[in-house]
Structure 1
Amino acid sequence: MIGKLRESLRVFTYDYLTLKRRIFIIFLGSTLIPFICIVLISYYTIYSILTNKIQNGILSNLKQVELSMENTISNLNHVSQQLAFAGSVGKKLDQMLSLPSEQSFERSKMLSDLKDELSLVTFTNPNIGLTFYYFQKDRTYDLENMGVKDTFAPEKLPLLAAYSGISYYGPHISNNRFDNNFVLSALRKVDLPTRDDVYVYIETGFHLTQNILNNGQFGGGNYHVFLDNNGRVAYSELPQTFAKDTIFPNFSQNQTYGTQNEFYWFRQVSNQGWSIVSIIPKADYNKEINQWFVQIGLFALLFLVISIGMAWVLWKMVYVPLNGFNREIKLMAQNRVQNVTVKTKIPEFDFLLHQFRQMKEQIWSLFAEVERKEKSRVDLEVEKLLYQINPHFLMNTLDTVHWLALMNGQTEIDKLVSSLNKLLHYNLGKLGAASTVEEEIEALKQYLTLQQIRYDFQFDVQMQVDEKVWRLPIPRFILQPLVENSLYHGLSDDGYIQVEVCLTDKLQIAIRDNGAGMSEETIHQLLHRSDSENKKVGMGIGLNYVKRMLESQYGDQAQIRIQSRIGSGTTIQVTIPVMEVQSQT
């Protein structure tokens, strides 16, 4: 399993990638890497720019809302001061309340004057809406400039801030009977000397608060939450997430921005201590950045398609010439000639194809020349064979000589011809063909008989052959060259030759003599010079033939070794594995 996994992984390594894949990888890498770097740099740059732009826009809008709210509250404070006891209206209210009930006329006249002054105050302050005096103990109101809802109760209003005897509320639904818009309001204690439960209640105009909250420069959804000095939610445009009269999540006096669920929030603290929080959904916050990402993604996809298309064009430019080379090689392997010359229209590849075709023509010319010379050589061999002596004719002639010598009582001639005839019959057999140890020993005896008659001297030949080896296969014509080597290297009249054939795990052959011996240089020539047999006479072929025959039949399994000392004789040892001998064709 691990081997198959390694093989699968190796296919995807660079050394095993096809040319097509390498072109695509290199081309895409050279084009996409710079593009990716540019995209990353642009991403961080554009992201920083867009983030700063969005945050600055949100904070700027939030600051404007906070300033507008502070101005509105300051205006409510200013108007309430005019209507308090320190102002002219407050003093007249105290005088009217001080009059006895029987002075109804004076009270009515002063009440009319107060209403006129209140109308003048509200007229000179167009951002002021509903205004009246509230009597806490009686839970009544008076001197209202507009109709008041019956449900009015100051304790139910969302308190925004309270200090110096004045409480600010909002945003909340107006207490004007004919208005349901959001307003800001203030409730200030009048501090009358004669009565301690009198308050003046003032609301902003019904359009003012709405204009402040809608004064957004951020393009997405922008919601507002008002917090009092302790972080309590006084007003919320997202009551599902930031419920009214609850503490703002993770509220901290020093924290001005953060995240909550799927929203980003930014907080602006006023000089009075209350806060206004701008809530923006993350989807709207990231909308512009996401649009930029989509544009970059589409551009990257287009760039990738163009890069792949160019890589494909480049691959085609390489594939067509390679296909032409492949076709030329196949035709060359099939000994076929392409009649139509294909051009790639690329000078470099056309030049290579032209050079390849020229090389192919030269190779075919060489093949034709070699074939012609081989045919000539075969013809010469046949002609040579025609002039050679027919072996059957030669042996038949020797057989006739044998019978003539026998009829005339020539025993020596008869013995010579008979031995020569047997030796020729054996030696003229197919060289390298399988024989047996017995047949090889018999042929060696005939050879030794001829040599003794030919050179007219006696030498002792001792043969020790293990009975187990008589039928073992052995290559033909192996022993004669080895014995011949002993005869031609200083064997004297009192010399001897020992032939031993035995069987261990292999067939062991040893040829020993007491001749003149040989030097190491001579041994090297006998074993390694291919023309050493040309220096011999008679039927000897030489040790080089034996060595090549053993290498041909057994390879490295057969060995031939020579040990010799000058004046002491020579020993030749041959080791042959016991196996079926293959015929040499």
Structure 2
Amino acid sequence: MSGRKLLNMLSLRNRLLIVILTSSLIPLSMVGILSYYTIYSILENKIESGVQNNLQQVSLTLDNMLSNLNHVTQQVAFNSSIVNDLQQYLNSKSVYEKSRLEKALTNELNIINFANPSIGLTFYYFKNDHRILFQNFQVKENFDLQSLPVMQQYGGITYYGPHKASNRFDDNNVISVLRKANIADRDDVYVYVETGFKLAEKILQNNQYGMRVDHLIVNDKGMVSYSENKTDYPVGMAYPDGNIPGKSLKHKGYYLFRNISNQGWSVVSVIRESEYNKEISGWVRQFLGFSALSILGSLLLAWLLWRMVYVPLTNFNKEIKQLANNNFHSPIKSMHIPEFDHLLHQFWQMRTRIWELLVEVEQKEKRRADLEVEKLMYQINPHFLYNTLDTMCWLARLNGQDEIDRLATSLNKLLHYNLDKQGQETTIQQEIGALKEYLTLQQIRYDFQFGVEIEADVTVRDLEIPRFILQPLVENALYHGLGDDGMIKVQVGLEGQSHVVLTVTDNGNGLTEETIHMLLHNERGEYKKMGFGIGINYVKRILFSRYGSEATLQMESKVGGGTSVILRLPISKGVDFI
């Protein structure tokens, strides 16, 4: 079987796996071989340059500290004002004069200490009798200059290497200086000053190379004055010869790196050979681990590339299914792949356009329903107006002026309510008031007597409802079978806190279930010419237009037992009842 045929039989995932593994293993092997032969030189340059840089930083820090100490001791030992006051203090026998001079000296020394915040313990030391005067802090009882490690000594000044502070309240490592004071006829007066060693100590203890590094400070005599490895390089030990600055020296199983200051003292980094070689073995382990991770990463990359094609296609299929299920508002998740994101964006635009078209169709249907309601209103109002005008003409012929005046007044009020601002909302109280005017006109119009009862809960009188929904229901009660001694009852009340219920009940002839079905479902059939059901149809449409499916209209009737029409209207949230 040829290679081309074998390749054609492989799946996309297997092809990606072969290509990525091949492209990963070949460069990895070449890098590994090259790195193995260059690691020693790389580590040597890294360690030596790092150690030398650190040693230079430590030397510079110590040199700055010593310069600061030297400056302070010069002020205390050679300042003419301070020296004169000290000399007078030592020679004076007057208690008052000694007290005055003591205060003056204390103030002058405090000014120097405040001007040099890095300075710690300061005092005058009398070498002959080991007396201490004018110290700014309490000195430890076991203070002994002979026990301090000498770092450098020349010209009447001695620098002591790192040691525990002589301040009773401080246990940090410090370096200190002892300088002879310039007092005539006295050669035993010295100035002793300590400073904090915290910064240098932090630098010395810093491990920057991934291995344990100890440090030594060697004085200008070649003796160790400070050691972090007291076992193999104790304080007082002579430093081995042959350590050239900038180069390492192997000694007693250690690599020694040395940096010599301008004053002759030096800082040495001590690294154990096992720690030094540990870096190489660690690198080998890291390379093997990196190789394993690279192979796993290659496999993962092949799998991810396969999913970059499969998953977007699956998600695209889900979006199409959601569109088929009328889910137009679900967010489209980005694939973070420009090509697929572009397709999804185009699909999103198409889905948005479809939704806009559906909304537009829905709005047109709602507008059509509103127009049908408006059309029904114009069918109802002229019909009633014509009948009323006929009645007025009949009354004008048969009765006196008072009756006509009453009729005209009621008609004027009712027409003003019904025809003014059609389609807008009104309150229950206003709707009932218009209904009463309508009933007044109808009681005059019909030649039979009927009673009317209106009961409305006072807590709902200010609730808003659609205009002109009670009159069509009462008109249907008068129109369909109400005779002499008939009774129409209108009730308005609350149902819980969410609905208001309006009920119109009569004791007329009643309706059959078939007639009720035709009225509720707009199946007027043979009654269409008589206007039968126009009022119910109007109320039904105005409720749907205003409330949708939240409002209900029910009819309950029995032949010979009267009819009840029940409206349940939702109450807007946030309405307070009186």
What is the TM-score of this pair, normalised by structure 2? 0.44
What is the TM-score of this pair, normalised by structure 1? 0.43
Instruction: Please say which structure displays the higher CA radius of gyration.
Output: 1
